[in-house]
Structures are given as C-alpha cells and as structure tokens.
C-alpha cells in the first residue's frame, strides 16, 4: 500500500469522477477501505462535492452529494491543498489526461499508472524515499 504504519505523516487522498457513494463502495469492495479515511475521498463528478464528510466546493459550504457545477479534479485538488496546506508534498497518481492536466495546473508531480509494472515502480520509489 502507499500509506502504511511506517509513514505516519502520510495520508492517501482519493479524487475520482465517480459519484461519492459508489466510490466509497468500491473502496470497500476492493479492500482499500483501510487505506483511505472517508474524509479523504473527494468526488469530481457533477453531482457531488467532497470530502465525504462535508465541505462542498471551494468557497461553497455545500454538503456531499449536493448538486453543483464546475466540479473538476483540479477543484478537488484545490480543496485538498486548502485542507492540508502548501507545505505538504503531493503526488498525483493516475492514468488519464485530466488528472495529469490538473496536476500540472497545481504544480504537483504526476505518476502515470498504465499497468502493474507502473505500480511496482511507484512502490519502489516510495519505499526508497524518492517520493
């Protein structure tokens, strides 16, 4: 896993275009629930904000699952930065152009994952302290 007990100062944050409830269900179904605190799951779908415990859109104050416009992965990344601050190290991991573009906008490094070998390389980079 990316987060483990050896890295107590790290958290995993999930930003997805899936609606919030199905995203949380998938985390549980795939056994990833222990690696993502529910308040660290953000939905960039048109129908839901995030984090899952409230907060809504930037400057908003809506509730999770509330209708909203202009939701994007970049706005979710912005909310994550508002929550944790600029002094943190962020790494965006994904397979699509949207998250790569959002990472570039936020000046975050992007790690493309297209297959199992990419995940192994990511694990090695984390294990060796490169990220």
Binding site members for Mg(2+): 95
Binding residues: 95
Rounded to a whole number of angstroms, the CA Rg of the chain reads 14
Instruction: Give the contacts of 38 (CB within 8 A, at least 6 positions apart).
Output: 24, 51, 52, 53
Instruction: Give the contacts of 71 (CB within 8 A, at least 6 positions apart).
Output: 43, 44, 45, 46, 48, 49, 57
Apex 25 CA angle, 45 and 112, nearest 5: 60
**Residue of 50, 93, 43 lying closest to 73 (CA atoms):** 43
Instruction: Report the alpha-carbon distance of residue 63 to residue 71 in Å, rounded.
Output: 13
Instruction: Report the alpha-carbon distance of residue 41 to residue 89 in Å, rounded.
Output: 18
């Amino acid at each position: 896993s990316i987060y483990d007990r050896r890295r107590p100062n790290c958290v995993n944050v999930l930003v997805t275009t899936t609606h919030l409830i199905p995203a949380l269900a998938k985390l549980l179904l795939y056994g990833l629930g222990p690696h993502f605190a529910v308040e660290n799951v953000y939905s960039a779908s048109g129908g839901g904000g995030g984090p899952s415990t409230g907060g809504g859109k930037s400057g908003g104050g809506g509730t999770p699952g509330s209708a909203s416009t202009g939701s994007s992965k970049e706005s979710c990344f912005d909310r994550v930065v508002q929550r944790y601050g600029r002094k943190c190290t962020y790494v965006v991991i994904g397979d699509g152009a949207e998250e790569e573009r959002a990472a570039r906008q936020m000046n975050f490094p992007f790690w493309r994952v297209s297959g199992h070998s990419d995940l192994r390389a990511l694990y090695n980079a984390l294990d060796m302290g490169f990220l």
